[in-house]
Amino acid sequence: MSKFFETDVDDDGIATISWNMIDYPMNVLAVVALQEFGDLWKAYVTDNSVKGIVITSSRDKFIVGADINGFGEMQRSSAGKLYASGMQFHGLLREIEKEAKPTVVAINGDALGGGLELALPCRYRVMSDKDGIKLGFPEVMLGLLPGGGGTQRLARILGPREALPYLTTGKNMRADKAKKFGVVHEVVPHEELLKSAKAAILEKRVSAKAPWDEKGFEFLGGPAHSREWLETFGGANAMLRRETHGNYPAPKRILAAVYQGLQLHIDKALSFEVRQFISLVHGNESRNLIRTGWFSRNAANKLEKRPKEIPATEFTKVGVIGAGIMGAGIASCTAQAGCDVVLIDNNQEAADRGKQHVVDYFARQVSKRRLTKAAADKIAARVTATTDYSALEGAQLTIEAVFENREIKAKVTKATEAVTDGKHVFGTNTSTLPITGLAEAAERPEEFVGIHFFSPVEKMPLVEIIRGKKTSDHAAAVAMDYVKLISKTPIVVNDSRGFYNSRVFGTYTREAFTMLMEGINPALIENVGKATGMPMGALELVDMFGIDTAHKIAHATIDEVGLEELKARGEPVETIEVVDWIVEEQERVGQKMGKGFYDYGPDGKKTQIWPEVYKRFPTKGSPVDIEELKKRFLHIQALETMRCMEEGVVTAADDADVGSLLGWGFPPFHGGVISYAETIGLSKFLAECEELAEKFGKRFDPPQLLRDMVASSESFYPEEHKPLQAAE
Amino acid sequence: MAEAYIYDAVRTPRGKGKKDGALTEASPTYLAAHVLKSIRDRNELDTSLVDDIVMGVVDPVGDQGGNIARTASIDAGYDETVGGVQINRFCSSGLEACNMAAARVMSGQSDFVIGSGVECMSRINMGASGMALATDPLLAVPNYYVAQGVAADLIATKYGYDRDDLDAYAMESQKRAKASWDEGRFEKSVVPVTDENGIVMLDHDEYMRPQTDMQSLGALQPSFAMIGEFSGMGAVAVQKYPDIEKVDYRHHAGNSSGIVDGAAAVLIGSEEGGKKAGLKPRARIKAFATVGSEPTIMLTGPAEATTRLFDRTGMKPSDIDIWELNEAFASVVLRYMEQLDVPHDKINVNGGAIAMGHPMGATGAMILGTVVDELERRDAETGLVTLCIGSGMGIATIVGRVH
């Protein structure tokens, strides 16, 4: 019996090949399955008693794409080998497309990537009306392109203008759009899917040829080099450059595959697509995006590092103390996950305001059609706003999000412990105060853990879990279970000032302050920051974060660690001058005030860098090495991460990388802070840091950990960094 | 090395490059043949003395395609031994054609070659011949391609020419063009376009707006804000020039060159050739140069071409009596004047493309003729003609009087 397919030939002589990869969580285009699929299909084609073939799936989803586990091997394959296997896949799809005996696809669930590519050569495509079925090409998010004809067939069906957004962003297509565009011919009631697919064959509604195999085929927005075509690509190229700064080869090669492919016959177009695909497979960007954005992130989501011996937590009630924006956001996420929430504040008005924030948030989701009104009401009803700590009784976890003040935090810790039992875990959402110190206020410091959310809570995908000195495995496991419950990604780190995220992220903004003081043009500082792939310029980012907060943290650090000690460590403490100037003298604290390093319009959007910034930090005329500025911005973050690893704050490279991508938007194409250094090559990275240290100071001194690793030719990611096999 | 002399130069008046333009009924071949006929007829030239016609066209498709130089030569009734080649160096094609013609003469390979150019922009859209640098993703994305207008605004932003600077320059161009027409300064070169019945279709530059003032210019909306902002070309320009925060869109229809139809031809020959044809040379092409320059900002090539030319010839700015830089955009001229320290009263003294229009393939040949006329009128010695060029190039030619 097949481990991949169920097959059947009915009385009308219609064969069905139904994907059912029983050893896999979902149907994927694994090489072995594809081989068997091809054999099955060919056998039905040659069987004269079979009139037509239906392809479908016995699982909830149709086929969700390629088998990403095979990617490592692909990356190490020669270009020649990849071309041959790519063309072999195209060969099968073209056979299906050109075979006189009709093949119809019955899309019963999500058809993504290779799944959709298998569907498109079928000359009749029926789709179930089941709610929320996703059709799409998500390859671009992994730094790849749909290499199974997706770029060519979608562009021929939709025309380049409509097709490009789906291909270059990976966004999904809904059933109504799919029908409108002709990606599917029919959308039918779910239970009639197979019947409808078969009917198309019996009623001879399947066209004799694919449109692009007809003579005189024309695509929308064509022909190539028409005015509309030129405008489409002229605009798309600039837009792409604006969005990617040239850092992402995948969308560029998708555009190229469509641009060149539409000028070619379909067979050569598919070949050109394979060539583009190979160059992406062999690039650093896809490896980095897949390693961190897929494998490491999935592992974190699945809690692979969770202490195994602790039983999984069943959450029925979670407490949230402090009903400000942060607390309300935490309450929203928790309630949405189906858990009751007790939202506590000092007085009922404050608690109610927090609850209102929850209600408003879900109302916005309703107006954006992400939720039904009934579902939103049900979620909001799970949140109880109160001042009464006794309501926490029976909760598995309570998270405080009160002011960053030790006394207040101590008070709520004690109040919570008074009404909860020994297994209850107390989580503190602080971004600055070390956990071990806060835990001193607790009766049960072993059940005290840091749970660091990012703002806005509803949107930000990462939660940093911080273990204090005494935090138990149980507390860490409960915190991890909770993060999984609310569908966010956890990383677990050990206690340190600023923990991991804030500590490393701060180096980016401080480097910008240093540049300002050196007399580097502020516009250049911002533009170079963006050119590295960081989501924003550093000054814009600190404006958004709140310069007052940065100012407070900087002064607290100086007070608590001591100026001399910081200087001894090579910290650029002199940059305090910049924040003091703008916060204390100029009283500009950032975007929330409508004035910071930038000016903001009435709509809250930035209009320009505040002209006084140019006056206070006049630009020196000397030529600037832009590549060097880029290195300063990114190397400093990688270095600080390595220091975190050296100190045991972060214990694994994948945690560091996932945290950097999701926490502060470190350029995803680098795969995270550590992947960035790995991609450069550790010994080269070390040498560059030494050079930077020579020129710009001790903060670029490589940590011993790095020196040792380079000396012994170690790597943070040994497996994936085997050199590419020589081309055949 | 032989000397290359200019024996004559003619141009059509420039018709508005729109569907209601006065020359739109005249096909590209008609206009091209028209200037070839004029050169022949007014010089009583035995065309069998001419070896070749070099003709600049920027978008050589449709009736501008198929090697229009040869087509026009046949249409004009030139001797069948006269060849034709169409060339394209974008906006400088007309001057490039003349330089190539001169090079043929200088190298002793020909006695007469006609340098010429034509563009019927009312019929054939800019960009109609394609532009992979703009549209092919593997070229446009890595090379920071932006549209020319955005590049012009980038120059204005980066070098600090504000809207008033640009508009004041544009107004002066209109003023000078009007004065030149009023005083008949273009009479020597301009040959009115007539139909086959002899009815005059156009005898003046149709595009001019002599009534233009700062107020009317100030009312115009920026032309490139849409393409710059909507498609993101402004952001791309900033990525290439990260020392500015954003591109300010300051060019508009009134301070950029006009879209027009027109053609021009320059008769270039050796001393021998002149003798055989019984013609007296009017000027000498002394030297020329082209250069590639940074493609995103695109339009700064004229200064580099000029510098290369000065370096080669040992000449210096003070040797130049009048300067002619095609007014593609006001910022291009302002930047050039600043870089080479050229006073405004010595450059584009008869107005330029902002006032009269820029028939792309023809302009270079047109303004070469304009400079020769002006040198004679002023009884001055030396002129320099230069143009900015798409994809980042520059061209410059030095002409001198012959006594």
Smallest Cα–Cα separation from A168: which of A256, A291, A231?
A256
Instruction: Provide, as residue numbers in chain B, all residues whose Cβ is less than 8 Å from the Cβ of A260.
Output: 136
Residue A345 falls in which region: left (phi positive, over 0), alpha (psi -120 to 50) or beta: beta
- Residue B76's Cβ-count burial label (10 Å; 0-12, 13-18, 19+) is buried
Record: contact B141-A246, CB cut-off 8 A: yes
CB pairs < 8 Å spanning A and B:
93
Q: Which of A90, A452, A474, A670 is catalytic?
A: A452
B267: which 2 tokens? Answer: 């008769």
Beta bridge partners of A295: none
Backbone CA torsion sign across B16, B19, B23, B28: positive
Q: B112-120 and B260-269: which strand pairing?
A: antiparallel
Record: contact B138-A227, CB cut-off 8 A: no
A109: which 2 tokens? Answer: 């669930």
Q: What is the pLDDT of residues A470-518, one digit of tens each?
A: 999 999 999 999 999 999 999 999 998 889 999 999 999 999 999 999 9
Asked whether the beta carbons of A196 and B101 are under 8 A apart, the reply is no
Residues 6+ apart with CB under 8 A from B41: none
Distance of residue B224 Cα from the nearest chain A Cα, in angstroms: 13
Record: contact B235-A242, CB cut-off 8 A: yes
Catalytic residue flag (residue A452): yes
Asked whether the beta carbons of A337 and A486 are under 8 A apart, the reply is yes
Record: contact B141-A255, CB cut-off 8 A: yes
Q: What is the pLDDT along chain B (403 residues), one digit of tens a residue?
A: 899 999 999 999 999 999 999 999 999 999 999 999 999 999 999 999 999 999 999 999 999 999 999 999 999 999 999 999 999 999 999 999 999 999 999 999 999 999 999 999 999 999 999 999 999 999 999 999 999 999 999 999 999 999 999 999 999 999 999 999 999 999 999 999 999 999 999 999 999 999 999 999 999 999 999 999 988 999 999 999 999 999 999 999 999 999 999 999 999 999 999 999 999 999 999 999 999 999 999 999 999 999 999 999 999 999 999 999 999 999 999 999 999 999 999 999 999 999 999 999 999 999 999 999 999 999 999 999 999 999 999 999 999 999 8
Core vs surface per residue A198-229: b (16+ CB within 10 A) or e: bbbbeeeebeeebebbeeeeebebbebbeeeb
B3: which 2 tokens? Answer: 């000397």
Distance of residue A671 Cα from the nearest chain B Cα, in angstroms: 21
Chain A residue with minimal CA distance to B236?
A: A242
Q: Which of A140, A145, A233, A241 to mutate to test the interface with B (most CBs of B within 10 A)?
A: A241
Asked whether the beta carbons of B262 and B10 are under 8 A apart, the reply is no
Chain B residue with minimal CA distance to A225?
A: B130
Question: Closest to B242 (Cβ–Cβ): which among A229, A239, A523?
Answer: A523
Backbone CA torsion sign across B79, B85, B86, B92: negative
Asked whether the beta carbons of A437 and A418 are under 8 A apart, the reply is no
Using DSSP's 3-state secondary structure scheme, residue A407 falls into: helix
Separation between Cα atoms, residue B235 and residue B249, nearest integer Å: 12
Separation between Cα atoms, residue A64 and residue A111, nearest integer Å: 5
Asked whether the beta carbons of A463 and A488 are under 8 A apart, the reply is yes
Long-range contacts of residues A515-519, Cβ cutoff 8 Å, at least 24 apart: A515/A629, A515/A632, A516/A578, A516/A613, A516/A617, A517/A574, A517/A575, A517/A577, A517/A578, A517/A617, A518/A620, A519/A617, A519/A618, A519/A619, A519/A620
Asked whether the beta carbons of A392 and A342 are under 8 A apart, the reply is yes
In single-letter form, the type of residue at position B157 comes to T
At A481 the pLDDT is 98
- Find the largest Cα–Cα distance for chain A: 88
Residues 6+ apart with CB under 8 A from A331: A320, A323, A341, A343, A354, A355, A358, A383
Q: How far is CA A576 from CA A500, A565, A621, B332, in A?
A: 21, 15, 24, 44
Instruction: Provide, as residue numbers in chain B, all residues whose Cβ is less than 8 Å from the Cβ of A238.
Output: 140, 145-146, 231-233, 235-236
The residues on A that touch B, with CB distances below 8 Å, are: 225, 227, 229-230, 233-246, 252-253, 255-256, 259-260, 521, 523-524, 526-528, 531, 608-609, 626
Record: contact B130-A527, CB cut-off 8 A: no
- Which residue shows structure tokens 């320290």? B341
- Residue A189's Cβ-count burial label (10 Å; 0-12, 13-18, 19+) is exposed
Distance of residue A234 Cα from the nearest chain B Cα, in angstroms: 5
Instruction: Provide, as residue numbers in chain B, all residues whose Cβ is less than 8 Å from the Cβ of A229.
Output: 135
Asked whether the beta carbons of A186 and A126 are under 8 A apart, the reply is yes
Question: Closest to B236 (Cβ–Cβ): which among A227, A241, A626?
Answer: A241
What is the C-alpha R_g of chain A?
A: 28
Q: What is the pLDDT of residues B208-220, one digit of tens each?
A: 999 999 999 999 9
Question: Closest to A252 (Cβ–Cβ): which among B135, B137, B144?
Answer: B137
Record: contact A241-B235, CB cut-off 8 A: yes
- Residues of chain A with pLDDT below 70 are 719-728
Separation between Cα atoms, residue A438 and residue A516, nearest integer Å: 36
Question: Closest to B245 (Cβ–Cβ): which among A227, A245, A523?
Answer: A523
Record: contact A246-B239, CB cut-off 8 A: yes
Per DSSP, A173 falls in state B
Question: Closest to B236 (Cβ–Cβ): which among A238, A253, A528?
Answer: A238
The residues on B that touch A, with CB distances below 8 Å, are: 125, 127-128, 130-131, 134-138, 140-142, 144-147, 227, 230-233, 235-236, 238-239, 242-246
Q: What is the pLDDT of residues A20-29, one digit of tens each?
A: 999 999 999 9
Beta bridge partners of B261: B15, B120
In single-letter form, the type of residue at position B368 comes to L
Q: Which of A258, A264, A527 to mutate to test the interface with B (most CBs of B within 10 A)?
A: A527
Instruction: Provide, as residue numbers in chain A, all residues whose Cβ is less than 8 Å from the Cβ of B245.
Output: 523, 526-527, 608-609
At A727 the pLDDT is 34
Instruction: Provide, as residue numbers in chain B, all residues whose Cβ is less than 8 Å from the Cβ of A527.
Output: 238-239, 242-243, 245
Helices (H), A302-452: 325-336, 348-367, 373-381, 406-419, 435-439
Question: Closest to A524 (Cβ–Cβ): which among B135, B136, B242?
Answer: B242
In single-letter form, the type of residue at position B322 comes to I
Beta bridge partners of A537: none
